[in-house]
């Protein structure tokens, strides 16, 4: 049994390889990009708009509102990064209803890559907002003694972010795979539906945690705004 789609390799040439994770990621990227281009092709600025446009606007404004509610006063500045996180993870989860589809987020490589992106984005947004000195000073608050702990906390939360998403997505895949061998037909379908819900929740958790980390870097306390996450 394969734990990760990284193990499904279609092509390999030296260091470079083309595995199922990358391929399904491209599929999700293609779906999102082409779908966006098609749906956003004829957008109406009037009071009358199509159902699809209405759906897209609801999604975008909902993400924007969530970002703003967390504490970022300029949500559009972070909408591209945080919104894409949510959409990518949620589309990867939704793809599990397609037989044969392996969600890229069930690969620890993908979740680590996303966590690294968050790990890099947080100081970038923080430095952009407070400057290098201001952001670095935030690691020494409330005292200099807290500097190593803050750095450890920064790394550990990134690791937790990656492992949490990977664990949830991978476990869903694993459970469905095991149940298929034991009780085929009905029960795996129920578990797949439950996996969809879990995937959407994980997408929300992943993006909202990234938002909180960025918001914490925007002049707030380093650990004060972090919500407790329980799975």
Partner 1 sequence: MLIDWFTVVAQAVNFLILVWLLKRFFYAPILNAIDAREMRIASELADASAQKDLAQRERAELRDKNQEFDHQRASLLGEATLSARAERQRLLDDVRKEAEGLRTRQMDSLRSDYKNLKGEIARRTRDEVFAIARKTLRDLASVNLEEQIVAVFIRQCRSLHEEKKKELQAVFKASAVSALVRSTFPLSAEQRQAIQLMSQEVFGSAGHFRFETSPDLISGIELSMDGHEVSWSIADYLLSLDKNVGSLLCGESSAEDQKESHPGEKRPEVQNDLRLESEPDGQSR
Residue bearing tokens 């409330």: 142
Which span sits near partner 1 by CB under 8 A: 84-92, 151-159, 191-199, 204-212?
84-92
Residues in 4-63 that interact with partner 1 by CB under 8 A? 4, 6, 15-17, 19, 21-22, 25-26, 29, 32-33, 36-37, 40, 43-47, 49, 53, 56-57, 60-61
Q: If binding is defined by CB under 8 A, does position 65 make contact with partner 1?
A: no
177 Cβ contact list (under 8 Å, min separation 6): 1
Collapsed DSSP state (helix, strand, coil) of residue 127: helix
> β-strand 16-19 against 9-13: which pairing, if any?
antiparallel
Which span sits near partner 1 by CB under 8 A: 76-84, 150-158, 172-180, 215-223?
76-84
Give alpha helix (H) positions in the chain: 20-39, 51-70, 75-94, 108-137, 147-182, 186-217
Which residue lies nearer to partner 1 by CB, 63 or 192? 63
CA dihedral over 35, 38, 39, 41, signed as positive or negative = positive
Residues that bind partner 1 (CB under 8 A): 3-4, 6, 15-17, 19, 21-22, 25-26, 29, 32-33, 36-37, 40, 43-47, 49, 53, 56-57, 60-61, 76, 79-81, 83-84, 87-88, 104, 107-110, 112-114, 116-117, 166
């Amino acid at each position: 049994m394969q734990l990760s789609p990284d193990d499904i390799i279609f092509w390999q040439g030296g260091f470079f390889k083309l595995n199922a994770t990358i391929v399904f990621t491209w599929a999700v990227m293609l779906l999102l990009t082409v779908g966006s281009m098609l749906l956003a092709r004829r957008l109406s600025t009037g009071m009358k708009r199509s159902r699809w446009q209405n759906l897209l606007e609801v999604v975008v404004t909902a993400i924007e509102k969530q970002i703003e509610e967390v504490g970022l006063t300029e949500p559009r500045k972070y909408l591209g990064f945080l919104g894409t996180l949510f959409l990518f993870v949620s589309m990867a989860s939704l793809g599990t209803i397609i037989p044969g589809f392996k969600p890229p987020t069930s690969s620890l490589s993908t979740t680590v890559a996303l966590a690294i992106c968050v790990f890099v984005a947080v100081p970038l947004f923080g430095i952009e907002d407070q400057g290098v000195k201001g952001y670095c000073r935030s690691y020494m608050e409330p005292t200099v003694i807290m500097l190593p702990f803050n750095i450890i906390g920064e790394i550990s939360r990134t690791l937790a972010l990656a492992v949490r998403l990977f664990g949830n997505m991978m476990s869903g895949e694993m459970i469905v795979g095991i149940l298929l061998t034991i009780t085929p037909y009905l029960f795996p379908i129920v578990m797949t539906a439950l996996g969809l819900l879990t995937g959407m929740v994980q997408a929300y958790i992943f993006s909202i945690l990234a938002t909180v980390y960025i918001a914490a870097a925007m002049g707030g306390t380093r650990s004060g705004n972090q919500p407790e996450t329980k799975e």
